[in-house]
Copies of this chain bind each other. A is one copy, B any other.
Amino acid sequence: MRQIFAFVMAAIAVCPIVLMAFAASRTEDEATPIFGIKMPPGYRDWRLISVAHEEGDLNDLRAILGNDIAIKAFREGVLPFPDGTIIAPIAWSYVPSEENDKVFGRAQSFVAGAPKEGVQFMVKDSRKYASTGGWGFAQFFDGKPADEATLNTCFSCHEPAKAHDFVFTHYAP
């Protein structure tokens, strides 16, 4: 009887941890609304397409990474981008670096701070996403997908870049 009691108490103690782990893995596996895109595993290991700085409300430093299909297409100038292309802009807050400025003897150095605006993905599937130029759009905040309203704004902003298959980023050699 004492053994059963101990087992039940242990189960109650462990249960929230199991549930939390389950919830965390659920979030990472969650797909976006509209486009049904899950966060691609290992994207932080992808190669670099280019870098950028956005002022204004965004106020970030960003790296635009691409999977192997994306890098090959950018380097060879292939347009439209082939199905399977994934482009991932990652943004960090735009932070002055006191440490670097001391060395330069003036305020001039800005570095990547905390991650911002989550991670975004453009996924090429010319059939599945035919109504949005062949691109699916995704954004995740701490692994949680953006809502429908947010994702509905993506394609209209990318339309002016139609001549470059709706992609603003150019490859930095």
**A interface list, Cβ under 8 A from B:** 44-48, 50-56, 58, 61-63, 65, 90, 92, 94, 97, 99-100, 102-104, 106-112, 115, 157, 160-161, 168-170, 172-173
Contacts and interface: CB of A to CB of B under 8 A. Distances in A.
Contacts of A161: 99, 103
A104 B53 CA distance: 13
Nearest to A61: B51
Contacts of A110: 52-55
A44 B160 CA distance: 30
B56 A104 contact: yes
A67 to B, nearest CB: 13
B106 A56 contact: yes
Nearest to A111: B52
A90 to B, nearest CB: 8
Contacts of A157: 103
B92 A172 contact: yes
Given A51-B92, A51-B112, 11 more contacts: A44-B47, A45-B47, A51-B62, A51-B63, A52-B61, A52-B110, A52-B111, A53-B109, A55-B108, A103-B157, A111-B169
A168 B52 contact: no
A56 to B, nearest CB: 4
Contacts of A54: 104, 108-110
Contacts of A168: 97, 99-100, 103
A44 B75 CA distance: 12
17 contacts: A45-B47, A47-B47, A48-B65, A51-B92, A51-B112, A52-B100, A52-B112, A53-B109, A53-B110, A55-B107, A55-B108, A55-B109, A56-B108, A97-B168, A99-B160, A111-B170, A115-B172
